[in-house]
Structure 1
Amino acid sequence: MPLDDQSWGEYAVGNYERWDWYQETGKLVFSNNGTPEIEADIQFSGSYSTASETWMWAWANSSLDEKVKVSSRLIKELGEDLGLKQLVAGRWIGTEVDGWEMTSVLAKAIDAIGVYRTPTSNGFIYMAITDVRWLEK
């Protein structure tokens, strides 16, 4: 079942003080008062740079751990099969909206339940969520 607005409402992720993602585990964690409360399994789709106004697929980003970008390689293969340049080019001029659209392509391909984006010092990291759960208190 997709993680739609109603599902996000159940988790109220916008009400948490912090979010942290961990490349080595492929987890996105939401916490309050230093206590982790929600954990999601993630796959990065890519990043958007506001400085260069470019989209970069996760598979093309050597600074990302393989654990969080392995699924993005499926999109490159799909692009090669279909002859779609935006899925094959590792980096290209784009917008923040392209980030959401490319993340939607990944989410559909891996049957994700939702998508999320976190800010960076010069843009955003986009990710697909494949599972989410409450952590025991």
Structure 2
Amino acid sequence: MKVASLALALLTMVSCAWEAHLDVDKFITQSVTGLGSQTEAHSATWHLGEEEEWFVEQEAGLIRFTFADGTVAEGVVQIIGTFNPEDSTFLWAWDHSSVQEPLREHAKLAREFGVEHQLSGYTNRKVTCTEEDAWEFTAVAARLAEANGAYRGDAGGPWVYMTFGEINLSKQE
């Protein structure tokens, strides 16, 4: 009888662990899908992806997009990490010397998620991964932080992955 109870308990624990893993996978998939929908909405409304320039002012915590017609889109920013296409590595902002501390909060949420669910890709400072993985990390951070969207900007070699808040539009004179 004790053996049967122990076997049932072990089976239940394995089953629960498997379900938790499936929930994490579902959360990640939904995060990527949700970010895709957000990006489509931003593209349709204020033409994200068609900007002539982008700029992050770390001291102010702002990202600014400028467009050919003089439109400026600006919002608060968080940096999630950088992806280096030369060696296919992602360096998390939560421990990135080039990222000011106040801009690391969303990346820290992703790290906490990784710790909670034992996901080494989220808890190791630097990970070998694909660009798709870098977007996945960013999508999870965006969802955890309830960000308004995310952006990947070319920093002259590495790509910077960021989340942003509500966007304010204005026209330059």
Instruction: Tell me if both proteins adopt one fold, taking TM over 0.5 as the criterion.
Output: yes
Mapped pair 1:80 → 2:104: no
Distance in 2 (alpha carbons) for counterparts of 1:4 and 1:50: 22
The TM-score normalised by the length of structure 1 is 0.87
Q: How big is the alpha-carbon RMSD for the aligned residues of Structure 1 and Structure 2?
A: 2.2
Larger Rg: 2
Which has the bigger relative contact order, CA under 8 A and spacing at least 6? 1
Distance in 2 (alpha carbons) for counterparts of 1:8 and 1:32: 12
Distance in 1 (alpha carbons) for counterparts of 2:110 and 2:166: 20
Unmatched segments (≥5 aa) in structure 1: none
Higher strand proportion:
1
Instruction: Report sequence identity in percent.
Output: 26
Q: 2:142 aligns with which of 94, 107, 112?
A: 107
Structure 1: 4+ residue segments shifted above 4 A: none
Size of the alignment, in residue pairs? 137
Partner SS, residue 92 of structure 1: strand
1:79-128 per-residue CA deviation (whole Å, 9 max, x = no partner) reads 11221111111101111111101000101100112111001222200011
Higher helix proportion:
2
Query: How far off is 1:52 after superposition?
Result: 2.0
Q: 2:164 aligns with which of 120, 129, 133?
A: 129
Report the residue type matching 2:108 in the other structure.
Answer: R
